[in-house]
A and B are shown apart, each in its own frame.
Chain A
Amino acid sequence: MLRRIYAIFRARNLEFVRDRGSMSWNIVLPVALMFGLSFIFSSERAEYTVGVVQDAAEIDASVHPFLASRYIEFVPVDDLESGFRRVARHQLDLLVQFTPEARYWVNPDSPKGYFAEFALLEFDGLAGGALQKLEIEGEAVRYVDWVLPGILGMNVMFSSLFGVGYVVVRYRKNGFLKRLRATPLRAIEFVIAQVASRLLLILLITSFVYAGTKFFLGTRMDGSHLLLFVVLLAGSMSMIAMGLMVAARVTSEELAGGLLNMVTWPMMMLSGVWFSLEAASDWVRQLAGFFPLTHMLGAARAVMLDGAGFAVVLPALGTLLVMTAVFLACGALMFRWHPK
């Protein structure tokens, strides 16, 4: 069994590595995206952003005169932990709370926090208030740091779904799968070989891209590289399995392309590749929970930006493994060797 799996695994690797166009694209695309985004977002935000701790979705400017000041964007924050994290990352210049306690949090390392605090105290003085000052320390998280897991995840997603799904459909359409069917090779052996082959390539390429961005852009990593690798491994497996499931019966490359696009685009838009889902509506977040990319990105960002440990990302890892098992089982049950 292992010999047969290795034979298919090796042949698929050779096929991929020698296809210079595909190989280059898999490396060039994420690197180009990273550098492009780094350039585009190199300038800081022009306005000040202040979080207001409250349950309501709308800011009520009558609560405090500071909330009516111009050139400051006020965003509601219903979760203190989330607010603290954003202040620590310099994503919020200040976090204020007027009820039940009057207090605010500022990052002493944030230049914009320094000036926002001046404005707050000026308005508070006029209001006769006495806000309590609290400090939260933390280095700024650049957009490029935040988006790196998204870019890596997106690359994993495309490589998994198209790299496996499309190839299997092509093999089926041109009769190569049928030829394999006439040998002692079993479906599960073929599937394992495809998963292993693509997994190895994805891990190598993603590690290469990660190392490159780390070296050239100095991207942030607060957690363990080993844990990030485990997250990447689990995420890749789930998406490769998803690609195999999508391609299990399809015989037309056009249909496969349509189906894969139907899966990848919602994932790309709703899994938090480009922007955070924290402000998204509940139904969007619930829908995103069905996508493996969401769990992979959440765990990867927790490790990279918050220094999260194994216990924190365990639920995401568990979800990804369950998804892998479900997708693989469906793929194996539906698998067809050749066009009907």
Chain B
Amino acid sequence: MTIALEARKLVKQYPGVLAVDAVSFAVREGVCFGLLGPNGAGKTTTVEIMEGVTPASSGEVWYYGEPAGTRFREEAGIQFQNTALQDYITVRETLEMFQSLYDRRADLNSVIEQCSLGELLDRDNRKLSGGQRQRLLLAVALVNRPRLVFLDEPTTGLDPQARRNFWDLVKRIRADGTTVILTTHYMEEAQILCDEIAIMDGGRIVIQGSPGDLLRQHYKNTIIELPLEDFDGALQGIDHRIVESLGVIEIETDDVNASLRQLTAHTAALNRLRIRQPNLEDLFLDLTGHTLRA
């Protein structure tokens, strides 16, 4: 498959801080690629180098087999984590202004419909809600009919309903064949949207692959969750790997039946028991050395 964007040994050195440490990865055309990591992992710096807004100390970014340059700027759409728009300008004027900066153009009506901005066109940018604003910023990223879109933590601060609406939007963009590069804190978001992920920590990529493959490689077990107070101090009777996190006990087991029998024998109350498969959240916590890990 064609490689849309490639990072080659990217390094970003700030005084006293190595923010990005020889990061290399390739993003295939048409996929949704997620870059995950805890705060300070270097993912936003990496993405900004790839976007061309932050210069790398060393390393290169290649776009469709050539160094990212004029063609990349024309064909890439970018939604930053925090972008202020001009005051006193309406949604329609904002879209028209940004579209005029490109030779390559989308049908503005389609973008407006896609991002559900029809009823907001004459509204001042200052009067948009968080969700409306994110939809506008996404629309701004789409006005040039991009072949590749960067979304940097696009749903941070949105309520659950607005977040799910935004996910639907991203799915539709991807369905059109647009390559998406997503950074996010939300593992659920990455699991739902991404075909491939890379987890960064300390300026390096710790692991990369499809969410399903990575979970299969790292986890053979099922997880049983119970509130800590339901154990009555009987934890020592359970002979599986146990993790305690925020008042919840997670028991990793390859034999759910046996584990449940043990739990029943130790008179634990099972009313609030939950059985689930490991997810990206678990993988993320395990790989980045999160403090919640037992």
Interface residues of A: mostly helix, strand, loop or mixed? Answer: helix
Shortest beta-carbon distance from A181 to chain B in Å:
5
Q: Using C-beta atoms within 8 Å of the partner chain, give the interface range for chain B.
A: 20 to 34
Contact A15 B87 (CB under 8 A): yes
Contact A11 B73 (CB under 8 A): no
Residue of A nearest to B76 (CB): A182
> Does residue A286 face the partner (Cβ distance < 8 Å to B)?
no
Which residues 81-113 of A sit at the B interface, judged by CB distance below 8 A?
none
A19 to B98, CA, bound (A): 21
Set A18, A19, A179: member contacting B80, Cβ < 8 A: A179
Contact B83 A175 (CB under 8 A): yes
Set A11, A176, A337, A338: member contacting B93, Cβ < 8 A: A11
A178 to B78, CA, bound (A): 11
Given contacts A3-B100, A337-B53, contact A183 B87 (CB under 8 A): no
> Does residue B269 face the partner (Cβ distance < 8 Å to A)?
no
> Does residue A128 face the partner (Cβ distance < 8 Å to B)?
no
Contact with B along A1-30 (1 / 0, CB 8 A): 001101110111011001100000000000
Contact B88 A181 (CB under 8 A): no
Set B82, B96, B98: member contacting A183, Cβ < 8 A: B98
A178 to B85, CA, bound (A): 11
> Does residue A279 face the partner (Cβ distance < 8 Å to B)?
no
Contact A182 B73 (CB under 8 A): yes
> Does residue B287 face the partner (Cβ distance < 8 Å to A)?
no
Shortest beta-carbon distance from A67 to chain B in Å:
63
> Does residue B212 face the partner (Cβ distance < 8 Å to A)?
no
Contact B101 A15 (CB under 8 A): no
Given contacts A178-B53, A182-B52, A182-B78, contact A11 B70 (CB under 8 A): no
Shortest beta-carbon distance from B90 to chain A in Å:
9
> Does residue A174 face the partner (Cβ distance < 8 Å to B)?
yes
Residue of B nearest to A184 (CB): B73
Residues from chain A with Cβ under 8 Å of B87 in the complex: 15, 19
A18 to B127, CA, bound (A): 14
Interface centre among B70, B83, B96, B103 (most CB of A within 10 A): B83
Residues from chain A with Cβ under 8 Å of B52 in the complex: 181-182
Which residues 175-226 of A sit at the B interface, judged by CB distance below 8 A?
175-176, 178-185
Shortest beta-carbon distance from B13 to chain A in Å:
13
Residues from chain B with Cβ under 8 Å of A181 in the complex: 52-53
> Does residue B74 face the partner (Cβ distance < 8 Å to A)?
yes
Residue of B nearest to A12 (CB): B86
Given contacts A174-B84, A175-B80, A175-B84, contact A184 B53 (CB under 8 A): no
Contact B80 A178 (CB under 8 A): yes
Contact A184 B101 (CB under 8 A): yes
Shortest beta-carbon distance from A165 to chain B in Å:
17
Residue of B nearest to A170 (CB): B84
Given contacts A182-B53, A338-B53, contact A176 B86 (CB under 8 A): yes
A181 to B53, CA, bound (A): 6
Interface centre among B70, B73, B101 (most CB of A within 10 A): B101
Set B51, B73, B83, B97: member contacting A10, Cβ < 8 A: B97
A176 to B140, CA, bound (A): 12
Shortest beta-carbon distance from A14 to chain B in Å:
6
Contact B88 A7 (CB under 8 A): no
Shortest beta-carbon distance from A229 to chain B in Å:
29
A180 to B193, CA, bound (A): 27
A180 to B52, CA, bound (A): 11
> Does residue B89 face the partner (Cβ distance < 8 Å to A)?
yes
Residues from chain A with Cβ under 8 Å of B25 in the complex: none
Shortest beta-carbon distance from A159 to chain B in Å:
17
What are 29 pairs between A and B in contact, CB < 8 Å? A7-B97, A7-B98, A7-B100, A7-B101, A10-B97, A11-B93, A11-B94, A14-B88, A14-B89, A15-B86, A15-B87, A15-B89, A19-B88, A171-B84, A174-B84, A175-B80, A175-B83, A176-B85, A178-B53, A178-B80, A179-B83, A180-B101, A181-B52, A181-B53, A182-B51, A182-B76, A183-B102, A184-B74, A337-B53
Seed contacts A178-B53, A179-B78, A184-B74; 20 additional CB < 8 Å A-B pairs:
A7-B98, A7-B100, A7-B101, A11-B86, A11-B93, A11-B97, A12-B86, A14-B93, A18-B88, A18-B89, A175-B80, A175-B84, A176-B86, A178-B83, A182-B51, A182-B73, A183-B101, A183-B102, A184-B73, A185-B101
**A contacts, CB < 8 Å to B:** 3-4, 6-8, 10-12, 14-15, 18-19, 171, 174-176, 178-185, 337-338
The 7 closest A-B pairs by CB, nearest first: A174-B84, A7-B100, A18-B88, A183-B101, A182-B78, A11-B97, A179-B83
